[in-house]
Amino acid sequence: MKNEKLKKIGEYLLENTDTVAAYLAELLIANQPRWYAGMEFEKCREIAYGRVEMNLGCFTRGDFVPLENHFLSCAEIKLDRGVGIRDLVEGTMLSKKAFINAGQEFFEDKNDLLIFLHELEEYSAGVLSIITDRYSSMLLSRLNTEHVRNKLLLEASRTVTSALDPDEVLSRLAEVLAGTVGEGCCTIFLVDSETGGLAPCAGFGYGSKECQSALQGLRLCPSGNTLSGVDGKSYGFCSSNKASLSFADILPDAVRSGSASLFHITNSGRMVGVALVSSDQPGFTFDEATSELIGGILNTVAVAIESAAAARRTKRQLLESESLRRVANVLLECPEGKESKVLSLIAEEARTIVNGMGSVLMLHEGDYLHCVCSAGTPKCPVEFYSVKSSYYGRVFKEGKTIIVRDAQSEIPKAERNDEVRTLIIVPLLEGDKKPGLLMVSNKSGGFDSADKRIMEMFAAQAVLALRNSRMFEQSEKLVVQGERQRLARELHDSVTQALYAITFCSDAAVRSLESGKETAAIEQLKALQGMAQQGMRDMRSLIFDLHPPELESEGLVGAIQARLNSVEIRSGLGADLLVEGDERRLPLRVEEEIFRIAIEALNNSTKHSKAESVTVHVDFVEGETTVKIIDDGQGFDIATLPTGGMGLRSIRERADKINAELVIASEPGKGTVLTVKVFDVEGDGGEDE
């Protein structure tokens, strides 16, 4: 027995045993009143303290030696006092419950808690195996007349309590109970903590998938076909799918004829569930001995059943929480936030989270609901449904989750697929707005309140993801529009103006030649040549700015060098690039913003500062990258420059987008130095995050 979490909590609780012992004492008094109700609390706490210490000794040692020693010392005494197997099993389960309570406070991480619960289940199974093995031989030697009965009870408790998974515990119990009536059948219903009704959680002995689906769809509720169990309590059968309706109709007759019976499962007066046991043997009826045997088995393992039910709820809640967290991450981190991808993810994850076969996402568009996306099968028979006159339109307007037990009879033929059997329809709600509907179909056994709860939580996340993707696409459009406007301004301010000037200058040269003024014409042609060259430089700069191919293939340094070669050096400007440190790639998004900042600074140097030389200095040091653009131009007074002058507003906005430090230093007549510094983050390597 090598259980790290048990050892860890064992070492901790050895120093804090009083709290667990006090809690166990309360459980013993409440659940085993025969032995502890009349006992003073301090005395009971001393007994509980000894049990806790014994278990902690097993935890820290990694074996069962302390338990075996304890058992040898007191087993005969307990047997003489009339302590039975049920008492020992129940006491073990109560001890486990006390340690679960301590573990929930000690292990804050959900994964650690799940591992601890698994190890505790494994340990408890070992304890019960030792107890039942040792105690059974003692009981059988004393109670020969009860040999067959007690052996079956012990075997049932061992079979049930040795399982580690709560679902396996209940499945094994169903198998044991079905075996009491030959090759019988058994379904175990547990109390739903939310609705107070009883829902099936395990079954054994059913031969076909259709039969299993029908039994999974059965519910015990206040209304329905009422019948009484062997304890005199009455139950009503209802169903969550069409197939189970027939079972709800025939079971009362089966119970009245004696071939099926309901057995109440209680623990210390608390309602835990109901076991439905039946036999298909001709002429079979439940006699008093069989009913007593099944009741005895249920009494013996009632604590184990309640513990399994609690663990099952905890496990389901943890799995639901993990599923929703995973779904939220997948939806909100959808690559590029594209709405079409988000819609596909919503449809796929919706059917997965409740084990449905198919899903459909409808969005509200004017007077219609549009089936924009689906996953699995079946799919929508038509693409658009009227909000005013269709079945789905009425559900949409009501804005409430609907569970459909029999789609073929409840939904009009023209609006449903012939393959749809069961359906859950969840409205997408965003404040007072209703973006659409999300539907999942054909879950085996039908949908219930647990599916309703988790689907409504999922729908809320889906709405957030959908809104996030739409906002992303809108921001993308704004960025594209802003870039187009910037290019339009650049074209107007540089190339277009140069073309106008070339046109006027060429007209003047023509007139000079026609007038015989050759000297003036030559000067005008020289000016024309200069304007054309400047226009070419401006156009080359704009084309390079649109999409520098070197940025993606060679990185920041390669792109800056290509820009200097293509524009500044060819323009006759003295341009140098200095690189220090070990060059490395930054995320593409960061490299692109730094490159745009450098381009803006270089444009300022050539157009506004009238610089003769410019130096770009790139410094790679551990944890940060710094880029400086230094020119020998005329400089400026930063205090008097307008906020958006010389493209400085664009530079600042780009620096803010990548959380970069930006410093601009300049004085009239002393040139300008622009410095941008970014700090490395995880994911460096040239790919956008």
Q: What is the CA radius of gyration of the chain?
A: 39
Domain with CATH 3.30.450.40 in the chain: 334-546
- Which residue is associated with the tokens 């789609």? 407
CATH number for the 181-324 domain, one of 3.30.110, 2.40.10, 3.30.450, 3.80.10? 3.30.450
Q: What is the pLDDT of residue 675?
A: 95
Q: What is the pLDDT of residue 477?
A: 53
pTM: 0.43
Measured distance CA(683)–CA(689) in Å, rounded: 7
CATH number for the 1-142 domain, one of 3.90.25.10, 2.60.40.1180, 1.10.490.20, 3.30.1370.60? 1.10.490.20
Instruction: Tell me how far CA of residue 632 lies from CA of 258, 564, 673, in angstroms.
Output: 104, 16, 9
Q: Has domain 334-546 been given CATH number 3.30.450.40? A: yes
The CATH fold assigned to 549-689 is Heat Shock Protein 90 (3.30.565)
Strands of 433-441's sheet, edge to edge? Answer: 384-386, 368-376, 358-365, 433-441, 423-430, 402-404
CA angle (676, 682, 686) in 5-degree steps: 70
Q: What is the pLDDT of residue 452?
A: 85
- pLDDT < 50: residue spans in the chain: 145, 224-225, 227, 335-337, 492, 683-689
Q: What is the pLDDT of residue 630?
A: 93
Burial of residue 190 (number of CB atoms within 10 Å: 0-12, 13-18, 19+): buried
Domain with CATH 3.30.565.10 in the chain: 549-689
